[in-house]
Amino acid sequence: MNSQCQAVYFLFFFATVTSDCVTWFYENTFFKGGDVDAVYTPTAEHCQKVCTFHPRCILFSFLPANSINDENKRFGCYLKDSPTGTLSRMTRTNAISGHSLKQCIYQNCACNKETYEGLDMRGVNLNVTKVNTVEECKKQCTNHALCQFYTYATQTFHRPEFRNTCLLKHSQSGSPTAIKMLDGVVSGFSLKPCGLSDIGCTMNIFQDMSFSGKDLGRVIAPDHFVCRTICTYHPNCLFFTFYTNTWHIESQRNMCFLKTSDSGKPSSEIPQDNAMSGYSFLNCRDWQDLCHIRMHSGMDFEGEVLEVVYVQDAQACQEKCTSKIRCQFFTYTPHQGECKEDKCKCSLKISSDGSPNRIIYGTESTSGYTLRLCKKLSNFVCTEIQNKRVVGGSTSSPKEWPWQASLQVKLKTQSHVCGGSIIGKQWILTAAHCFDDLSSPDIWRIYTGILNQSEIQANTSFSRIEKIFIHPQYEISETRHDIALIKLETPIEFTAFQGPICLPSEDRGTTYTNCWVTGWGFTQEKGEIQNTLQKVRIPLVPTEECRKKYIQYKITDQMICAGYKEGGKDACKGDSGGPLSCNNKGSWQLVGITSWGDGCAKKDHPGVYTKVAAYLYWILHIMEN
């Protein structure tokens, strides 16, 4: 599918926040008012990450370099809040606005593995060394306790004495203090949030111990576990001390002190009754996302009340808080005078820093936090196999790709049109463009568990489509958002020949090296549908490199590219909608959906696939509702 990309213009006058996850961007749009903070970020995608993890941000606006003449405002990321959930918007050429991902089941983590050529992300320089590659510079930053981002001067930098120089940097906010366009440099972020640091971490809690260091701030917390989570998500916190509610200084009870030091360790450890200290988990390898899942009985969290609702129990109150995007914590009050019939008062609350202003003990209340940070992908059962549109491929074996589906149209004759992937008993994931001018569910027949097209006879069983879900932002004239979900009328019976592939795990910087494209498509650009399912192993291509190959097209962050520089192996006509399957630690994951390309297997023209990880919430939202 070769389509020229066209600009999208949104005609809404207001941006409204709902309880649903909204992942798309509004182009040529800037939200007016509601500013709670402003930072610099290299892209709109990273701005959205910052907004997602900010305690108050629900909307954002980003100014790329081509949107403003003032160099000091280029790459500005404006974080916004609104008590009504609504902000008016103005037209601004090349500005990009969007929503926080706080309400997304699949929530982008803080990990960012991208590198940014031609950008100098500025901050306080921590260290300057000579290294051979940008990857070495990135690794140095990841393994330096204080480094948050870096800039590397390449061999093409205009001043020879600075070539191959790696500058490790940090800032008070964790974001660059400015971003400037500069030829011959590459910038990026530490991979500590990806769980890739080799520094190591201490998971112990030190009871009756106070850590000395530079104070970064203080917040109220119900216990040391919450204090540690807050420290882990703070951009500069390396260790903490928490004073319990029995601490002798009343004004410091339940106070969580966030700390750092130049060495990364406390300057001293002081024995102190009713104090508990520990370290951030940020330097832990493969650390899991943390969240405040526990509820706290006998405590009333004080804060600004957003809304009062009446529910049956504390768990229902927590669910209400989680579903309301601005709610940060809650208090459920079940005692007499606060109940109506079998339901009692649930106060949804907010504060400037996401923590209670005060904690009152000795009440009948139960308090807790939103579970937004706890939201994970549903545990769909999927296929795990250890065995190892396709041009330059080879034939597959039975049971090798049990998630592969053949989508066929029955009009006057019947023919294979697209591939697809089984992701659930009644669900097939495929490309939206497969249904261009073929949108009626009645004409489609879905075959699973087959290897050869010749197996399909008049009496061969197939599945009918109950409903086709096309991504709401897909347009026939464009290549973006090329994804569709099919619900089958009846469930598939899983066997060794047909079963689901895993959806990709949360993007924590996973590097996929064992990826395969499968399909019955053409084996040459002017060919024919193949009888036997073809397979080819194919390397992923970095997004920035792919963009250079397709200057006339727009390669978005919702796309992924794969192919050989020399060409010769690729997906082709008839493979559309089929899987780009990658094996990660023994589990096959659906990383991409075959979408489009410039011809088939051409030199320096990789295939372009829809990036499944970018659409996980949309997929799961439909499947679960």
Residues annotated as part of the active site: 433, 482, 576
Please state, in angstroms and rounded to a whole number, the distance separating the CA atoms of residues 96 and 316. 36
427-452 in b/e form (b: 16+ CB < 10 A) is bbbbbbbbbeebeebeebbbbbbbbe
Please state, in angstroms and rounded to a whole number, the distance separating the CA atoms of residues 133 and 112. 18
E-assigned strand segments in 334-475:
339-340, 343-350, 358-369, 394-395, 404-410, 414-424, 427-430, 444-448, 465-470
Q: Do residues 220 and 328 touch, judged by C-beta distance below 8 A?
A: no
CA distances to 152, 183, 370, 485, 501 from 620, in Å: 39, 42, 20, 10, 14
Q: Looking at the DSSP assignment, which residues form a beta bridge with residue 17?
A: none
E-assigned strand segments in 81-158:
86-99, 115-122, 124-130, 149-153
Length of the chain: 625
If one counts every other C-beta atom within 10 angstroms of the C-beta of residue 203, the result is: 10
If you search the block for the tokens 């949360």, which residue do you land on? Answer: 506
Q: CB within 8 A of 160, min separation 6: which ones?
A: none
Run of H or E including 36:
strand 35-40
Q: CB within 8 A of 359, min separation 6: which ones?
A: 220, 222, 245, 254, 299, 300, 301, 302, 367
Look up residue 336 and give its two tokens. Answer: 């007499």
If one counts every other C-beta atom within 10 angstroms of the C-beta of residue 13, the result is: 8
Q: Do residues 123 and 177 touch, judged by C-beta distance below 8 A?
A: yes
**Phi, psi values for residue 131, rounded to 5°:** -135, 165
Q: CA neighbours within 13 Å on the CB side: how many for 295?
A: 17
Please state, in angstroms and rounded to a whole number, the distance separating the CA atoms of residues 564 and 559. 17
Please state, in angstroms and rounded to a whole number, the distance separating the CA atoms of residues 436 and 468. 12
- Residue 508's closest CA among 68, 121, 110? 110
- Residue 503's closest CA among 196, 23, 113, 106? 106
Q: CB within 8 A of 437, min separation 6: which ones?
A: none
Look up residue 2 and give its two tokens. Answer: 């070769």
If one counts every other C-beta atom within 10 angstroms of the C-beta of residue 399, the result is: 16
User: Residue 203: what residue type?
Assistant: M
Q: Do residues 234 and 173 touch, judged by C-beta distance below 8 A?
A: no
Please state, in angstroms and rounded to a whole number, the distance separating the CA atoms of residues 598 and 606. 8
Q: CB within 8 A of 187, min separation 6: which ones?
A: 42, 115, 116, 119, 120, 121, 149, 150, 151, 152, 176, 179
